[in-house]
Structure 1
Amino acid sequence: MSENRFPVTTPAVYVPEEGEEHRDIVVVMSEPDADSMVKAHSVKHNKPIRVPLGMLHPLPELPPEPEGELTDWWTITDAEGVELARVQADDDPGARTAAMRDATVVAACRRDKGFAVRRLRTSELSVPLGQLRALPRIASAEPSSR
């Protein structure tokens, strides 16, 4: 029997067969059964699912933390973590307001029901637009009340 690369409590990416739902982040919750299926907690569905062990892949390596001082530039990303725009603003609400002036952001906001905003550091300013990546997530387009 081959070595199990995904023991219990290991996070992984579930990549379904073509035509099925999109990939998902899962946490393995059981050892493989006789059919090489494992029980895993789906982040996407927020519930346990059963998936073939052969369709699990390691999580991608995270990029190094950006360096330098915080700037007044913000990156706007969609639910998949793809950079859509950069805006200049003093704070998060200002960045969200500026982002909503960009047609690409508005379209993504309608599609994904929101977008993510993150302040850039000086080391990131030299990276061309669209090449910064973020972790996939959805954040409300509305500023949070604090």
Structure 2
Amino acid sequence: MATPDQTSDSLLAALGKARIPTENHDFIRRLTDAVGIVDYFAIDSSDKPYVVAKRRDGRPDLHILYGYTTGFVSEDEGVRMAGGGGACRPSSRKGTWYVEHPVNNIRSGTERSRDIRRQAPFCTCGMQLSLTGVCPSCD
């Protein structure tokens, strides 16, 4: 299990360790300034590195990942802190919400992958051929 580094990081150092895109740094800085953060710790997890941002007010820590920040206690708080800069949705962290960063790889839960099923053409007799091209009536 990943653990925080022994010492607190600056925001930029923590974002760098967690491999957060630099295009998101200004947005995250505004977000964390609005929330009021006292400490940042980079969690170097091989699959999903992130930054833990400890709040001044004692509410849940923010977790800053590649394309979103989670840990907001309500949708209203997430929208307010983001200043309308990113979509706010329920998080997989129970009872919290996340805000999307400008650069992200988040897929909406309503998006469906493109349907790539293959369909065979029809035979001259009117029956649909199998994918191998064999007609069940003529062949």
Q: Which has the higher helix share?
A: 2
Does TM, normalized by the shorter one, top 0.5?
Answer: no
Normalising by structure 2, we get a TM-score of 0.25
Normalising by structure 1, we get a TM-score of 0.24
Higher-RCO chain (CA-CA 8 Å, sequence separation at least 6):
1
Q: Which has the higher strand share?
A: 1
